[in-house]
Amino acid sequence: MNANMRNIHKRLLLENVSRRDMLKGVFAAGGLVLAAQVFPRGALADGGSVNAYKTGADGMPGGTVWDPHVYVSIAPDGTVTIVTHRSEMGTGSRTSLPMIVADEMEADWSKVKIVQAPGDEQKYGNQDTDGSRSIRHFIQPMRACGAAARKMLETAAAARWGCSDMEVRADMHKVVHVPTGRSLGYGELAADAAALKTPRANTLELKDPSKFRYIGKGKVQITDLRDITTGHANYAQDVRVDGMKYAVVARPTVLGGKAVKWDEAAAMKVPGVVKVVAISGTPMPAKFMPLGGVAVVADSTWAALKGRDALKVQWDDGPNADYDSGTYRQAMAASARKPGKVERNEGNVDAALAGAAKVIEREYYIPHGHHATMEPPAAVARVAGGKAEVWACVQSPGGTRGDVAGVLGMKEEDVTVNVTLLGGGFGRKSKCDFALEAAMLSKAMGGTPVKVVWTREDDIRHGFYHSVSYQHVTAGLDASNKVVAWRHRSVSPSLMANFMPDPKRESSLELGLGLIDTPFNVPNLRLETGEAVAKTRIGWFRSVNNIPHAFAMQSMVAELAAELGRDQKDFLLEMIGPARIVDPRGTVSSELWNYGDPWETYPIDTGRLRAVVERAAKEAGWGKKLPPGEGLGIACQRSFLTYVASVVHVKVDKDGNVSVPRVDTAIDCGFCVNPERVASQMEGAAVMGLSIAKYTNITFKNGRVEQNNFHDYPVLRIGEGGMDVRTHIMPAGIDKPSSGVGEPGVPPFAPAFFNALHAATGKRIRNLPLGNQLTA
Amino acid sequence: MKLKVNNQERNFSGDPQMPLMWYLRDELGLTGTKFGCGVGLCGACTVHVDGRAARACATPMQSLDGKAITTIEGLHPQGNHPVQKAWRDANVPQCGYCQPGQIMQAAALLNENKRPNDEQILSAMSGNICRCGCYQRIFSAVKAAAKEA
Ligand code: FES
Ligand code: FES
């Protein structure tokens, strides 16, 4: 245990709560129940850090900064139950986080049960499962929690044997008396351990990493594997509550539209329909409030769907009816072609461009995208007797609880949010509008439980869309072909429009996602934003603005390399420059968003970025000779404090069909808790990246989304590429702060793919998606 | 009308146009058959009708008189069909939502073709979307199951 690690324990109090009933509903009775409670900052006299290294858990909304509880209970039969407080949407957090606790407490994973916490940030710490933060922010508290449980079990065993603590050692679900080899199982010790006072935090010892059984090994099956493969895994779409009715909602197809007239009688005529309920919308900024519209409540989903068809709603579309993707794009282009607001400025770009031997200008466009989580949004609510209970597939259990309380005018204590499994999240399910609809409808139904089912069409037409982006990049080269100037203008309507009136450009949060944090080693650098006003709900989508920013930056680098006849990879490394810490905090106009985490823990380290580029290139056999019609492309991005580089191998046949025989992705995410799930995230990111590159395209006409379902909003299918993704995880010890994994695999993929496509065909694609641009 | 669901006799007298998916999910509580698109485009609702893969969302009840339906819950009494086992060996799922449909599709393929080649696997599985992108593992799990079957 190093000195810093010891500090964590000064402020980490493990409180024995087995005799309290605060855990009712989470645990069956009996056994040892531990709660790790981390004191709020400043609660201790020394004011020292609670962690070996600081993370941004401090800055998380909800004011639960240092209160990430992890609960452990042990039943007399030895079953260890571990609460997981973050939402599972496919990243593996429901496996990896409890695994940390289990490992530290020397529990046998085969005897561990996982229980999902309801939304309660006071009790569990921040639960907002986005921003690739679960491991990043909770590896340290979870290790401490497991260590405390182990310590209590050891103390109980020592008392039983009348020996010193020094003579006992926890070892795989039992405590051993070292001198004699006697042992007692965790189940046998549970009651005694529960009766003990919890050890002071500074008496705890963390395991030596060489003793880890699960952490860092990647040998554990995911928690819900059996249930998933037998059809017993429960998602919000699957929730059934006694007496429940089913609802679907006709929502305004234009943001801000209102239902003016509908045929309630026709809907009521459909057998099984029980009620038609109008839901009011909220003008922007509406945060996550429902869009409003008309709900049909029925005895079955089918009846509700037929009832909704019969409604024939007439809408007043409101001012956003003029939203047209074609004209909007032209306006964005115009905005990107004139000087914008300077967001980061180094050297003198104007002078450098004026004096450049060669100036190269390029423009890049990415349309709106939509998450299309495999499970469309759904929620069940029962609002009765002054209480509300919700079952929902939300990434934000705590936030949802607050928002449900808000729309119902209740206190948070009276609201329970049960978190189901999420059939995909990708950011969509951070927005709980669907859960709020369920709550409003159950209330309107006098307390009858109501399940709101979103169809795929509802999902695609009423999303929170990944922002459309237009970027104009100008590079200046000197006589020796060095890049001496880089002017980058980015135009993209901001997701902040959900939270504040009328933002006109990307916020500092969005700019920190791969624009103003660029590590490029160019002496004259100016990053600007142009104006664009949101005409639909903009929402974060897995890796957010990193997607367009990386696309433009990493494509431009390859374009320059091609222009100069240089090797893509060598030129990229030259752009990154030597290994160093890049600190743009003095040259940005507002704040440098570092993913909400402290700069000292997570600076921009070009050494690490270079290393993943080199590793991916090496693994992919960069430079190998390929037949005509094939090519390799490379791109990299630091995002969510993690460094990723991908080499994509592209093959184009004579009819212009593109395949991707192989992808090599190198990732440096600091200390890696679950390499197997990291690999699955990189595999998934390649598939999603290829979807973005080939298909993703939400367009608006007359204010309405033009797409409806998977026929006109295609996503990648099996065999279309990304079937051989090889993940190369950079080795890192436990002292290397863990960073994000769920998102960082996405941003480099599309530019690497288009760089490969260029290598294979000589064609440069600057407008996404690819569509039929190769053959047209 | 009469039909069998997971070997149990059932009588149905509701709306003949209702898709099988809602009958399974809402009436029988067999929610392993997932709702993904409702129009036959994603495969999340895949079941077996008389042993062959079918999209429950695009199969109206009226077409099922006398038919035998198998859902993921009934694929194997202990949940240990070779495809299910291969899935677990490869830790295939991410969010898991598409997986029952994938497994039912793969099981139907192996019913009909014990030794499918790569092309046949890809073409049989191409109607099943996995938005999480587990395709690489789905493919190798189907291949592994084919060796076992
Ligand atoms: S839900 Fe049936 S194919 Fe998609
Ligand atoms: S595992 Fe999530 S959609 Fe397939």
Q: Which of residues 220-239 of A touch B (CB under 8 A)?
A: 221-222, 224-235, 237-238
Backbone angles phi, psi at A361, to 5 degrees: -120, 135
Percent of residues, chain A, with pLDDT higher than 90: 85
Q: Is the pLDDT of residue A49 over 60?
A: no
Using alpha carbons, select from A325, A317, A313, A322 the residue that is nearest to residue A253: A317
* Amino acid A54: pLDDT: 86
The pLDDT tens digits for A83-138 are 999 999 999 999 999 999 999 999 999 999 999 999 998 888 889 999 999 999 99
Question: For A207-263, how does the pLDDT look when each residue is reduced to its tens digit (9 = 90+)?
Answer: 999 999 999 998 899 999 999 999 999 999 999 999 999 999 999 999 999 999 999
Nearest bound ligand to CA B104? 1
Q: Is B95 in the pocket of ligand 2 (CB under 6 A)?
A: yes
Residue B125 with chain A: CB contacts under 8 Å: 718-719
Token pair in block for residue A693: 């590159």
Tokens of A48: 């020292």
Residue-wise over A213-252: b if at least 16 C-beta within 10 A, else e?
bbbbebebebbbbbebbbbbbbbbbbbebeebbbbbbbbb
**Residue A696 to residue A540: CA distance in whole angstroms:** 15
Average pLDDT on B5-24 reads 98
How far apart, in whole angstroms, are the C-alpha atoms of residue A669 and residue B41? 36
The answer to whether residue A151 scores a pLDDT higher than 60 is yes
Across all residues in chain A, what is the average pLDDT?
91
Half-sphere exposure in the Cβ direction for B140 (13 Å, CA): 12
Whether the CA torsion A396, A400, A401, A403 is positive or negative: it is positive
A489/chain B closest Cα distance in angstroms: 32
How many whole angstroms separate alpha carbon A607 and alpha carbon A605? 5
In whole angstroms, give the CA distance from residue A537 to residue A49.
39
Q: Kindly report the three-state secondary structure assignment for every residue of B18-74.
A: CEHHHHHHHHCCCCCCCCCCCCCCCCCCEEEECCEEEEHHHCEHHHHCCCEEECHHH
The structure's pTM equals 0.94
Collapsed DSSP state (helix, strand, coil) of residue A185: strand
Residue B76 reports pLDDT greater than 50: yes
Which residue spans within A187-340 are E strands per DSSP? 245-250, 258-261, 273-279, 293-298, 314-316
Which secondary structure element, helix H or strand E, spans residue B2, and what is its range? strand B2-5
Q: Choose among A460, A457, A414, A415: nearest CA to A435.
A: A415
Nearest-by-Cβ selection for A421 from B32, B73, B96: B96
pLDDT at A55 over 70: yes
Tokens of A474: 């100008």
End-to-end Cα, chain B, rounded Å: 35
Write down the residue that tokens 């000087």 correspond to: A339
CA-based nearest residue to A747, from A569, A542, A557: A542
Q: Determine the average pLDDT of the residues in A19-27.
A: 33
Nearest-CA neighbor of A92 among A232, A235, A281, A218? Answer: A218
Q: How far apart are CA B10 and CA A611, in angstroms?
A: 62
- pLDDT band with cut points at 50, 70 and 90 for residue A753: very high
- Residue A74 vs residue B84, higher pLDDT: B84
Greatest distance between any 2 Cα atoms in chain A = 84
Structure tokens belonging to residue A131: 């921003």
CA–centroid distance, residue A221 to ligand 2 (Å): 16
Strands A658-668 and A725-729, by their bridges, are parallel
Nearest chain B residue to A240 by CA: give it.
Answer: B29
Residue A743's contacts (CB-CB under 8 Å, 6 or more residues apart) are: A131, A132, A542, A543, A544, A546, A639, A640, A685
Coil, helix or strand at residue A169: strand
Find all residues with CB under 8 Å of A682, minimum gap 6, and list them.
Answer: A644, A665, A667, A725, A727, A745
| A485 bridge partner residues | A476, A524
Order of all β-strands in the sheet with A483-491: A341-346, A524-529, A483-491, A469-477, A358-366
| Spatial distance between the Cα atoms of A530 and A337, rounded to a whole number of angstroms | 9
Supply the pLDDT for residue A22. Answer: 31
Half-sphere exposure of residue A355: CA atoms within 13 angstroms, side-chain side: 12
pLDDT of residue A21: 31
User: Does A352 have pLDDT greater than 50?
Assistant: yes
Read off the pLDDT band of A2 (50, 70, 90): very low
Strand bridging mode B8-11 / B2-5:
antiparallel
Residues near B147 by Cβ (< 8 Å), separated by ≥ 6? none
Which ligand lies nearest the alpha carbon of B131? Answer: 2
* Averaged pLDDT for residues A341-360: 98
Alpha carbon distance B83, B75 (integer Å): 10
Token pair recorded at residue A281: 């919308």
**What is the H or E stretch that residue A680 is in?**
helix A675-694
Q: What are phi and psi of A659, to 5 degrees?
A: -125, 165
Q: Is A423 exposed, middle or buried (0-12, 13-18, 19+ CB in 10 A)?
A: buried
Return the pLDDT at A71: 56
Kindly give the distance from the C-alpha atom of residue A377 to the centroid of ligand 2, in angstroms, as a whole number: 14
Closest CA to A427 of A401, A455, A395: A395
Structural tokens at position A14: 């493990």
Residue of A nearest to B97 (CA): A423
**Amino acid symbol at A32:** L
Q: Write the pLDDT tens digit of every residue in A525-553.
A: 999 999 999 999 999 999 999 999 999 99
Give the Å distance between the CA of A66 and the centre of ligand 1.
44
Q: Check residue A430 and report its DSSP letter.
A: G
Residue with tokens 């994994």: A741
Nearest to A308 by CA among A412, A201, A453, A450: A453
Q: Which two tokens stand for residue A455?
A: 């169809």
Nearest to A670, CA basis, from A747, A597, A750 = A597
What is the rounded radius of gyration, in angstroms, for the C-alpha atoms of chain B?
15
Test B31 with A424 for CB contact under 8 angstroms.
no
Neighbours of A34 (CB within 10 A): 26
Structure tokens at A610: 């270079």
Confidence (pLDDT) at A398: 95
Between chain A and chain B, how many beta carbons pairs sit less than 8 Å apart?
A: 186
Express each pLDDT in B23-69 by its tens digit.
Answer: 999 999 999 999 999 999 999 999 999 999 999 999 999 999 999 99
- Pairing relationship of beta strands A524-529 and A112-116 according to DSSP bridges: unpaired
User: Is A210 buried (19+), middle (13-18) or exposed (0-12) by CB count in 10 A?
Assistant: exposed
Give the pLDDT score at A121.
Answer: 87
Start-end of H helices in A477-539: 508-511
A29-38, A77-86, A555-564, B138-147: segment of lowest average pLDDT: A29-38
Contact indicator for A657, A637 with CB cutoff of 8 Å: no
CA distance A494 to A505: 6
Return the pLDDT at A219. 87
State pLDDT tens for residues A361-375: 999 999 999 999 999
SS3 A505: coil
pLDDT of residue A32: 44
Half-sphere exposure of residue A409: CA atoms within 13 angstroms, side-chain side: 1
- Give me the percent of chain A exceeding a pLDDT of 70: 91
How far apart, in whole angstroms, are the C-alpha atoms of residue A123 and residue A125? 6
Distances from the Cα of A152 to the Cα of A7, A10, A16, A201, B27, angstroms: 20, 17, 10, 12, 49
Residues of chain A with C-beta less than 8 angstroms from the C-beta of B79: 226, 229-230
Q: Is the CB of B40 under 6 A from ligand 1?
A: yes
Tell which residue, A59, A61, A47, has the closest CA to residue A591.
A59
Question: Residue A141's pLDDT band (boundaries 50, 70, 90)?
Answer: confident
CA A277 to ligand 1 center in whole angstroms: 28
Q: A651, A655, A678: which is closest to A665 by C-alpha?
A: A678
CB A124 within 8 A of CB A172: no
Environment class of A6 (CB within 10 Å of its CB; exposed 0-12, middle 13-18, buried 19+): middle
Q: Which atom of ligand 1 is nearest to B45's Cα? A: 2
CB atoms within 10 A of CB A312: 12
Higher pLDDT, A45 or A283: A283
Band of the pLDDT at A81, cuts 50, 70, 90?
A: very high
CB A513 within 8 A of CB A658: no
pLDDT at A198: 67
- Letter for the amino acid at B4? K
CB distance B32–A232 less than 8 Å? yes
With cut-offs at 50, 70 and 90, classify the pLDDT of residue A58: low
What ipTM was predicted for this assembly? 0.99
pLDDT tens-digit profile of A732-747? 999 999 999 999 999 9
Query: Does ligand 1 lie within 6 Å of residue B20's CB atom?
Result: no
